[in-house]
Amino acid sequence: MLEGRRLLVTGVVTRGSIAFEVARQAQEAGAEVLLTGFGRARRLTERAAAKLPEPADVLELDVNSPEDLATVAEEVGARWGALDGVLHAVAFAPEDALGGRFLTTPVDSAVTAFRTSAYSLKAVVEALLYDWMGVSKAALESVSRYLARDVGAQGVRVNLVSAGPIRTLAAGGIPGFDRLADAWGRQAPLGWDTADAAPVAAAACFLLSEHARAITGEVLHVDGGYHAMGAALHA
């Protein structure tokens, strides 16, 4: 499905990361893969990269660093000349911007959460896939739609995967994750396994492939059907 395609995968920290499963499935489908890591966590990324079917190189990338973005773009250009796809699997919010603290979150923490989790998609696309100016929306979904509009003429597709809760390293920092995961398993019509990132990765690989060549600006829910339920399921 991905034979000969060159993919950059961000967000791999451990083998339990959704991004790791995407990279694994992509390689098995024929893709060449590069990973990115950041700071002290890069060592964890490198360990995970060594466990892929084909051990992958890891490039340093802080998505909030213009210097890192430029360096990664240069490295990708030197290796491959161009990219066929990027998985943006990066999100972060300071502790005081989590756990229902919407009204009390300091502005600096809110900006950090938005810049890292949403604006960084624009930064990555601008640096690695296309050169453009001026998206000003305060949500990742809006950013993706603007990107789909503005880069589509160059053959670049932008889609999102809205995944159900997966028990990754990052999930450990989300207040109430266990309650959320429990509710998800009961409410999703198809059920939901928080330890299995494979369905999410399969959807991402589909979107990265030619099978999705006419799909852009889309949000693909991979959540066992949870998003479509307006009322609780009954036995």
Segment 82-114, tens digit of pLDDT:
889 999 999 999 999 988 888 899 999 999 999
Length of the chain: 235
CA 230, distance to chain mean position in Å, is 27
Is 122 catalytic? The answer is no
Is 130 catalytic? The answer is yes
How large is the angle between the packed helices 198-208 and 18-28, nearest 10 degrees? Answer: 50
Task: Tell whether pTM > 0.75.
Answer: no
pLDDT tens digit sequence for 185-201? 888 999 999 999 999 99
Q: What is the pLDDT of residue 212?
A: 96
Q: Check 122, 130, 146, 226 and give the catalytic one.
A: 130
In this structure, what token pair is assigned to residue 5? 């395609």
State the Cα–Cα distance between residues 213 and 90, nearest whole angstrom: 24
Q: Check 51, 122, 137, 226 and give the catalytic one.
A: 137
Q: Which residue has the tokens 């250009």?
A: 77
Structural domains of the chain sorted by starting position, each given as residue range(s) with its CATH number in brackets: 6-225 (3.40.50.720)
Q: Which of 64-73, 84-93, 139-148 has the lowest mean pLDDT?
A: 139-148
